[in-house]
Structure formats: structure tokens, C-alpha cells
């Protein structure tokens, strides 16, 4: 179906991002996988083009797009190339940016945002803990006030960009007796004594997205690095999770679409028993089902993008888009592997890597089960 949410300006921006992907991402894809990270040169290239500061005011070095649809276009084009690249950049420009733009003081903005926009300062967000998973209210990392500073102790895990980030937004418990209402956010920066990182985690997929454990051993963080109000961190996270989840849905859908297109082309070329494998009735029907399911998903995600651009996306609708797109993405990619036969199980084929990369989307940004719990509560259950 014809998509209707993007204007000529959005499509011109899409062409720019596609050129960036062709020039800076695709030629380096294998190296990123081998090194298990995206190099800083690529971050700087993205910054130079204004991609990292889409949501940042111009006075602090951003491009201030003023329209979430530009971020959606960027996410789609990156995801077509690699789910991991889309994830790493998305954590920075789509997930961390709202915290640093909306919750910080002018002094903090001047200190962090210019380099955030250029790619000189890469960010991550430290929510998930070894014992917590999707239950953010149960986090155990603590921050205790000590004069003009806070002393942070604890750990985080599964942190995208965690190994190379220059600044990590860390959620810590500041008033244990208040439970969810006693969490505060802090900017922990590289070089702070007691802040260390574990190894790059060995994931099933998305190796080029550096993911790490983070450890805080009496890390002294000045109150000038507190982000937002004390004990308001949980609310701040809940308010910004819908953007993270619609961003995940955008990436999920674009990633699945790219691999499905490649698989359709393969099915037209590959022959078995004297005919194209795509012409067998079962495969033809399967493609019909996959294309329809993808386009229906895209239509819902597009409505989520449009709603968010107007500031009207609800947490429940974002949850619907996140879990459904992840489910459809995984169904499509599993079918694509099957259609490639034995080749679909070979790592050198993009379909195999995409299949591995996609599995985590049903887990991160809040597991699909948590998304269904949120939707069920909204139904009064």
C-alpha cells in the first residue's frame, strides 16, 4: 500500500541517509562485525550530516528537525542495512536524546549536547540490571548523597553502546523506602573513578552493536550530573519509553521488509525441479501471507509514527506496535531462512545474520510479555 505519512522533505532526507548507509555503513559491515563495534569515524560522519542531533535545539549544536518523522526515516534506512547499526545509533539519537534535551539544565546542555550531536560523545542508557530485566521498579543500583556529590554502587547489564559510551544515563535508587518513586537519573562519564565496564557480551546476534556490563564501585558523581529532579527518574523513564518502543517498531518493520525483498528476489532466481522456487503454490501463498502481514504491520506502525509526531502516542499503542512488529519480524525472517534452504543457515548469507539479529527484539525495550501485560491492564484486566 502507498504510505502517506511522509512528505517530499522526508523522502529527500531518506535519500541522504541511504547515501550515508551506502558510503559509510555497507562497506564496513564485515569489519564492524569482526570488531564488535561501530568505529568512531562512522559516528563522526553521522554527526557531520546532522543525524545525531535531530531532536536537539540548534543553539546546542543540533539540527532541530522538529518532526519525529525524520527520526523514523533515519531508523528505517539504518535498519535496512543492519538491525545492530540501527540499534546503536537509535539508542543515542532516539532514546538518550530526550533525557538530555528535556530534563537537563542549560549548563548541562551546553556541556554535553554539542559533542553529542557531532558524535564525539556517544551515549548509552543504564536501566537493565542482572536481577531486574524488564522490571525497572526493582532496580538495585543505589545513589547516596554525600555533600555536593552522590556515591553510586551497583551494576547494569545488556547495555547497548555500553563498552564505548562516553556518557551513560544511569538509573539509581536514591530513596529506597519510596520504591518506584525513589529513583533518580545520573550522567556517569568515562574516567570517573570506580566506573568500569565488563567484557563485550557475546550475543547470539547483532555483534556489531557493542553491548556490555557496567559496574559502579563507589563512583562519586557530582550533583551537577544529576539529570532531572531527585526521585523522579522512574516517571521520566515511563514518559519516554513510548518513543523507544515506537522506534523499535520502526526498526523491526524496516529490517523485516529489507530481508523479505531480498528473499523474494532469491525465490525468483533459485530453481528446483525445473522451476523457480517462488512459483510453487505453497511458497507463492507463503509470500502472499508475509507481504500482507508486513504491510498491515507497517500501516499500524505508520499511525504510531504520525501520532508520536503530534505528541499523541499513548504508552499502550506504543506497546502494541513494539510487540506486534517484533513478532511479525521474527515470523518473516524465520520463513525467509526456510525459503533459502541450507544457505539460509550460513552466516555469510545476510538472511541468516538478520534472523539471529531479530530474535532479541521480542525481549528488549520491554519484553513482548510485558507489553501484553500493559495492554491487558488498559483493558481493565
Say how far apart CA 191 and CA 58 lie, in whole Å.
28
The DSSP secondary structure of 22-88, one letter per residue, reads IIIIGGGHHHHHHHTS--HHHHHHHHHTT-TTTTS-GGGT------HHHHHHHHHHHHHH-HHHHHH
Q: Does the active-site annotation cover 244?
A: yes
Which of 19, 76, 244, 373 does the annotation list as catalytic? 244
How many other CB atoms are there within 10 angstroms of residue 67's CB atom?
17
Q: Collapsing DSSP states into helix, strand and coil, what is residue 205?
A: coil
Of 98, 194, 91, the closest CA to residue 141 belongs to: 194
Residue 372, C-alpha cell as written in the block:
501484553
For residues 125, 76, 257, 163, the Cα torsion angle rounded to the nearest 10 degrees is -30
The residues that are catalytic are 244
Amino acid at each position: 500500500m502507498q504510505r502517506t505519512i511522509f512528505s517530499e522533505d522526508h523522502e529527500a532526507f531518506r535519500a541522504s541517509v541511504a547515501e550515508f548507509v551506502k558510503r559509510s555503513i555497507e562497506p564496513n559491515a564485515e569489519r564492524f562485525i569482526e570488531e564488535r563495534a561501530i568505529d568512531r569515524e562512522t559516528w563522526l560522519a553521522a554527526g557531520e550530516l546532522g543525524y545525531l542531533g535531530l531532536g536537539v535545539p540548534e543553539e546546542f549544536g543540533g539540527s532541530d528537525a522538529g518532526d519525529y518523522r525524520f527520526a523514523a526515516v533515519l531508523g528505517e534506512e539504518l535498519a535496512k542495512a543492519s538491525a545492530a547499526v540501527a540499534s546503536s545509533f537509535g539508542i543515542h539519537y532516539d532514546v538518550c536524546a530526550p533525557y538530555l534535551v528535556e530534563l537537563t539544565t542549560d549548563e548541562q546542555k551546553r556541556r554535553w549536547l554539542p559533542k553529542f550531536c557531532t558524535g564525539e560523545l556517544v551515549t548509552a542508557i543504564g536501566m537493565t540490571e542482572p536481577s531486574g530485566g524488564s522490571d525497572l521498579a526493582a532496580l538495585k543500583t543505589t545513589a547516596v548523597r554525600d555533600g555536593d556529590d552522590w556515591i553510586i554502587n551497583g551494576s547494569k547489564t545488556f547495555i547497548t553502546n555500553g563498552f564505548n559510551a562516553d556518557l551513560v544515563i544511569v538509573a539509581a535508587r536514591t530513596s529506597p523506602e519510596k520504591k518506584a518513586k525513589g529513583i533518580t537519573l545520573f550522567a556517569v562519564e568515562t574516567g570517573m573513578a570506580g566506573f568500569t565496564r565488563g567484557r563485550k557480551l557475546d550475543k547470539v546476534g547483532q555483534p556489531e552493536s557493542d553491548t556490555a556490563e557496567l559496574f559502579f564501585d563507589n563512583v562519586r558523581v557530582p550533583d551537577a550530573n544529576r539529570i532531572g529532579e531527585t526521585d523522579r527518574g522512574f516517571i521520566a523513564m515511563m514518559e519516554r519509553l513510548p518513543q523507544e518502543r515506537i522506534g523499535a517498531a520502526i526498526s523491526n518493520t524496516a529490517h523485516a521488509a529489507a530481508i523479505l525483498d531480498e528473499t523474494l528476489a532469491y525465490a525468483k532466481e533459485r530453481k528446483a525441479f525445473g522451476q523457480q522456487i517462488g512459483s510453487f503454490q505453497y511458497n507463492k501463498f507463503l509470500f502472499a501471507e508475509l507481504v500482507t502481514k508486513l504491510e498491515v504491520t507497517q500501516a499500524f506502525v505508520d499511525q504510531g509514527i504520525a501520532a508520536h509526531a503530534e505528541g499523541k502516542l499513548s504508552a499502550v499503542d506504543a506497546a502494541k506496535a513494539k510487540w506486534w512488529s517484533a513478532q511479525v519480524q521474527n515470523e518473516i525472517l524465520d520463513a525467509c531462512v526456510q525459503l533459502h534452504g541450507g544457505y539460509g543457515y550460513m552466516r555469510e548469507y545476510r538472511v541468516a545474520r538478520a534472523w539471529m539479529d531479530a530474535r532479541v527484539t521480542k525481549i528488549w525495550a520491554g519484553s513482548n510479555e510485558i507489553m501484553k501485560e500493559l495492554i491487558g491492564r488498559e483493558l481493565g484486566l
